[in-house]
């Protein structure tokens, strides 16, 4: 198509933007658009998504001098525009962004077919000398209204709900409003990516209403209440009582937990809204799958995590502003020292910390099967806490012997956890920033590096590399940015430890600087990853 004709009302800048949109629509399929928008999705995930939606259109906002001749100008440019209709939704968004001046201006929408899809052109008239020229300049630079759209082809509600979950939790997209369009009988859901690019899902029919932005923000602001409610549930061991005897009422639970019946009933009602409990019509309560991990009798119980994150680590988040302003950890600011020595001086907190770390040991379960240990004789766990990962390796491979390097107080917990394996395990007291035991075929660094800044990570990796012979392997377990869970943990590390979460290229650079080469990456439970490196 020829878009080089000088237009009567469209500027060359806007003409170029329309040309770019048309080229994109013509040259891209659904998979390619998804790959550009959401690079965190794997090829397999994109292929699955493509079974349920198709690339529908690309939208662009332009600023003609007038709407009257816009269709003719587009035709002279080689396009075949549909009718010009008002766009109340876009005008509303522009008005919220720029005020009343835009609210009084007409905003039109024109659909132009290109290669079986559509270029959706929004048009805000801006005559020469109009004060709206500033709006046009800002919108051209920011591209707030530019977006790609996908039509969901799967009927019903199950698959669209799954798509929304995948796009937000796995791909990192952020919901950005939307609603039901009765004229087209579609529900439009808006999203933004980590790179501030917009896209929308178009669902046939009416779907669940998009949460009101203010109510959604209030839900975020009251997240602290949920944390404390879960901590109280853990302190009162409500999950234990309901696991032992499902279907207890509030009065019975109050008697068993030593709580005030009315106050406990109010807590239970809130916990039910969080999905940890269900309330029956007869006034009894039952534990849900979400609440089950708070039962102390389950493997990988999160009971100690609820106490830790609702206790000392929760308190330090009150100093988050200090941490953000200074770059220093809030825990030390509030307690006078880093949390490792602080917990070492307070035995009850040290014990809680080690139990909490063991609670998330589920992420280690696949590790013994992801790496070939058949030729391995000795595994050295560097800063391995209570030895949860080392223990799994030793139990899975009875020809392997282990070495655990830790602080004295951590080794006490490790000896208890590794009972039955002590004949094959050596416990070494030491500091991994000074030296690491030699002679290992495989070295483990599990949830260690994220505790420290880059300078200290370089030191730790250098000590590991010094102890490793060429060809020895290093297994690093960490959460990787940019996933949403890693972003939350990254803020936790800033506030409570002074460390940080990192993305894979960041870790790869740190490894290379120490003479280590990453050879593989494996996904682990609980949002963790295993980085497999070798000493070169």
Rg of the chain over CA atoms, in angstroms? Answer: 29
Question: Residue 356 is inside which H or E element, if any?
Answer: helix 347-359
What's the number of CA atoms in the CB half-sphere (13 Å) around residue 84? 16
403 neighbors 432 (Cβ within 8 angstroms): no
Backbone angles phi, psi at 443, to 5 degrees: -115, 140
| Cα 436 to Cα 464: distance, rounded to the nearest angstrom | 6
Let me know how many helices (H) and strands (E) the chain has, helices first. Answer: 25, 19
| Cα 291 to Cα 161: distance, rounded to the nearest angstrom | 22
| Cα 303 to Cα 293: distance, rounded to the nearest angstrom | 7
| Catalytic positions, written as ranges | 450
Q: How many residues does the chain have?
A: 536
Tokens 């439970």 belong to 525
495, two tokens: 């506030």
53 neighbors 150 (Cβ within 8 angstroms): yes
460 neighbors 445 (Cβ within 8 angstroms): yes
What's the number of CA atoms in the CB half-sphere (13 Å) around residue 33? 26
| Cα 73 to Cα 4: distance, rounded to the nearest angstrom | 11
| Cα 106 to Cα 104: distance, rounded to the nearest angstrom | 7
């Amino acid at each position: 198509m020829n878009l080089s004709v000088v237009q009567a009302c469209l500027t060359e800048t806007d003409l170029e933007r329309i040309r770019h949109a048309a080229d994109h629509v013509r040259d891209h399929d659904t998979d390619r658009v998804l790959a550009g928008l959401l690079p965190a999705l794997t090829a397999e995930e994109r292929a699955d998504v493509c079974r349920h939606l198709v690339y529908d259109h690309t939208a662009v906002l332009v600023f003609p001098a007038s709407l009257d001749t816009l269709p003719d100008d587009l035709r002279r440019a080689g396009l075949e525009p549909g009718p010009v209709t008002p766009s109340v939704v876009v005008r509303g968004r522009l008005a919220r962004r720029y005020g009343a001046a835009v609210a009084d201006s007409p905003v039109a929408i024109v659909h132009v077919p290109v290669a079986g899809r559509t270029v959706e052109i929004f048009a805000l008239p801006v005559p020469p000398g109009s004060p709206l020229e500033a709006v046009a300049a800002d919108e051209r630079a920011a591209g707030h209204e530019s977006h790609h759209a996908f039509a969901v082809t799967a009927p019903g509600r199950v698959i669209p709900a799954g798509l929304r979950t995948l796009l937000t939790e796995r791909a990192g997209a952020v919901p950005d409003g939307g609603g039901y369009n009765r004229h087209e009988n579609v529900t439009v859901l808006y999203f933004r990516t980590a790179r501030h690019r917009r896209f929308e899902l178009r669902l046939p029919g009416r779907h669940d209403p998009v949460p009101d932005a203010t109510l959604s923000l209030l839900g975020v602001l009251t997240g602290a209440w949920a944390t404390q409610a879960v901590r109280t549930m853990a302190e009162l061991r409500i999950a234990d009582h309901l696991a032992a005897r499902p279907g207890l009422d509030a009065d019975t639970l109050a008697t068993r937990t030593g709580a005030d019946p009315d106050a406990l009933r109010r807590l239970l009602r809130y916990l039910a809204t969080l999905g940890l409990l269900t309330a029956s019509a007869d006034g009894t309560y039952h534990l849900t799958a979400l609440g089950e991990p708070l039962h102390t009798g389950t493997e990988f119980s999160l009971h100690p995590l609820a106490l830790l994150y609702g206790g000392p680590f929760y308190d330090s988040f009150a100093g988050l502003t200090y941490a953000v302003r200074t770059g220093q950890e809030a825990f030390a600011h509030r307690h006078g020292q880093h949390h490792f020595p602080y917990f070492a001086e307070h035995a009850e907190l040290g014990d809680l910390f080690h139990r909490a770390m063991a609670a998330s040991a589920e992420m280690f379960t696949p590790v013994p099967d992801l790496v070939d240990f058949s030729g391995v004789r000795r595994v050295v766990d560097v800063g391995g806490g209570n030895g949860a990962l080392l223990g799994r390796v030793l139990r899975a491979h009875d020809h392997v012997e282990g070495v655990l390097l830790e602080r004295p107080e951590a080794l006490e917990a490790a000896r208890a956890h590794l009972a039955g394996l002590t004949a094959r395990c050596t416990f070494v007291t030491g500091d991994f920033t000074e030296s690491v035991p030699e002679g290992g075929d495989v070295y483990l660094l599990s949830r260690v590096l994220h505790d420290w800044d880059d300078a200290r990570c370089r030191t730790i990796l250098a000590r590991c590399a010094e102890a490793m012979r060429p060809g020895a392997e290093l297994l690093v377990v960490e959460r990787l940015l940019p996933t949403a869970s890693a972003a939350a943990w990254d803020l936790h590390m800033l506030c409570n430890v002074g460390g940080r979460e990192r993305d894979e290229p960041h870790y790869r650079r740190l490894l290379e600087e120490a003479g280590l080469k990453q050879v593989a990456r494996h996904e682990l439970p609980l949002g963790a990853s295993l980085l497999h490196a070798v000493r070169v």
